[in-house]
């Protein structure tokens, strides 16, 4: 398994403006390719925008959603991949022939669609249907998984994707800087974003505190460490509809160490080389091999009212 160079990006998307968002995706992909990246990953719904969808009707969602792989946006991603010789991962709303709507995330290369994943725990809009399967695909001997945003907070999803063979999990998000029951959470004022050039310090303090990065650091590195995997986290920077997001797109190694992170307020990316030897050296690999699933198989699979999570989150978005 050869070493591989991966980039994770962040940018300020425009709600519903696919052409603009795809133009930024192409610009950053071209630059990442020139710097030697094999793969670049963008955030959840990076093609369509995300937060604005909480206001859309079923008809509005169908208008913004696309068929995969024949939709225009997927074809544009494939063209970008072919032109700039880089594999891309990006997100959008998907629809099928029965007008079901999904939160999708795709991987494409120059030859077409490589993988598609549907978010298991969607909640931005009540008309979105949850996905029902995991996704693992291969490139250059590496196995990659995808889990979108809230999917990663349910730790069983990360372990299941790892057990299916993933060495790396792409974790596209639109997260942080929103109210929550956890201490220190809350919105960050858009005025700080507007004034970021004159007063970057005040904005950075908010972005790096418990409203943003400090909360992320409570759990994200542990997903990598406990499972002995690389984590590729992607998140937007700037305004997403009326909510400010703090970026901090990063790559975490199997030891739980942040090895690359976007620290700019600009549309940007960081890239780093992933070394396969870390996978076997990390404690997470030993922990997986030491499991005794006969002790807890029935506990983990016990019935519960899983729908309540989706219902509760929908209420929070109202």
200: three-class secondary structure by DSSP:
helix
pLDDT in tens, 55-76: 999 999 999 999 999 999 999 9
pLDDT in tens, 182-200: 999 999 999 999 999 999 9
Distance CA 298, CA 158 (A): 19
pLDDT in tens, 98-117: 999 999 999 999 999 999 99
Instruction: Please check the confidence at residue 160 and state whether its pLDDT lies above 60.
Output: yes
Q: Is 42:104 a contact under the CB 8 Å cutoff?
A: no
What pLDDT band is residue 312 in, cutting at 50, 70 and 90? very low
What pLDDT band is residue 316 in, cutting at 50, 70 and 90? very low
Q: Is 281:254 a contact under the CB 8 Å cutoff?
A: yes
**Can you give the three-state secondary structure of 220-251, one letter per residue?**
HHHHHHHHCCEEEEECCEEEECCEEEECCCEE
Instruction: Please check the confidence at residue 315 and state whether its pLDDT lies above 50.
Output: no
Instruction: Please check the confidence at residue 22 and state whether its pLDDT lies above 80.
Output: yes
Residue 24: its H or E element: helix 18-34
pLDDT in tens, 207-259: 999 999 999 999 999 999 999 999 999 999 999 999 999 999 999 999 999 99
Measured distance between the N- and C-terminal CA atoms of the chain, rounded to whole angstroms: 47
The model's pTM:
0.96
Domains of the chain: 4-317 (3.60.110.10)
What pLDDT score was predicted for residue 158?
98
Q: Is 248:216 a contact under the CB 8 Å cutoff?
A: yes
* The 268-274 sheet, strands edge to edge: 112-118, 101-109, 87-95, 39-41, 4-10, 268-274
What pLDDT band is residue 304 in, cutting at 50, 70 and 90? confident
What pLDDT band is residue 307 in, cutting at 50, 70 and 90? low
Distance CA 9, CA 257 (A): 18
Q: What is the mean pLDDT of the chain?
A: 95
């Amino acid at each position: 398994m050869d070493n591989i160079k991966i980039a994770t990006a962040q940018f300020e998307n425009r709600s519903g403006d696919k052409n603009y968002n795809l133009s930024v995706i192409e610009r950053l992909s071209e630059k990442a390719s020139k710097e030697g990246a094999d793969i670049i990953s963008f955030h959840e719904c990076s093609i369509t925008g995300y937060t604005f969808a909480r206001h859309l009707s079923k008809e509005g969602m169908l208008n913004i959603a696309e068929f995969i792989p024949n939709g225009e946006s997927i074809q544009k991603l494939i063209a970008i991949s072919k032109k700039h010789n880089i594999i891309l991962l990006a997100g959008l709303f998907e629809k099928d022939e029965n007008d079901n709507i999904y939160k999708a995330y795709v991987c494409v290369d120059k030859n077409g669609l490589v993988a598609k994943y549907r978010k298991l725990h969607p909640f931005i809009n009540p008309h979105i249907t949850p996905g029902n399967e995991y996704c693992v695909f291969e490139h250059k001997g590496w196995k990659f998984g995808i889990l979108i945003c809230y999917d990663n907070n349910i730790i069983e999803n990360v372990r299941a994707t790892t057990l299916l063979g993933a060495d790396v999990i792409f974790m596209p998000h639109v997260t942080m800087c929103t109210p929550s029951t956890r201490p220190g959470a809350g919105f960050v004022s858009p005025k700080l974003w507007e004034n970021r050039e004159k007063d970057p310090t005040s904005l950075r303090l908010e972005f790096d505190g418990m409203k943003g990065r400090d909360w992320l650091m409570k759990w994200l590195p542990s997903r990598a460490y406990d499972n002995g995997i690389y984590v590729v986290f992607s998140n937007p920077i700037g305004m997403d509809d009326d909510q400010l997001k703090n970026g901090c797109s990063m790559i975490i190694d199997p030891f739980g160490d942040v090895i690359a992170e976007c620290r700019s307020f600009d549309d940007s990316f960081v890239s780093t080389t992933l070394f396969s030897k870390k996978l076997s050296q990390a404690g997470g690999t030993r922990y997986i091999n030491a499991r005794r699933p006969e002790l807890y198989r029935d506990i983990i699979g016990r019935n519960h009212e899983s729908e309540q999570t989706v219902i509760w989150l929908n209420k929070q978005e109202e």
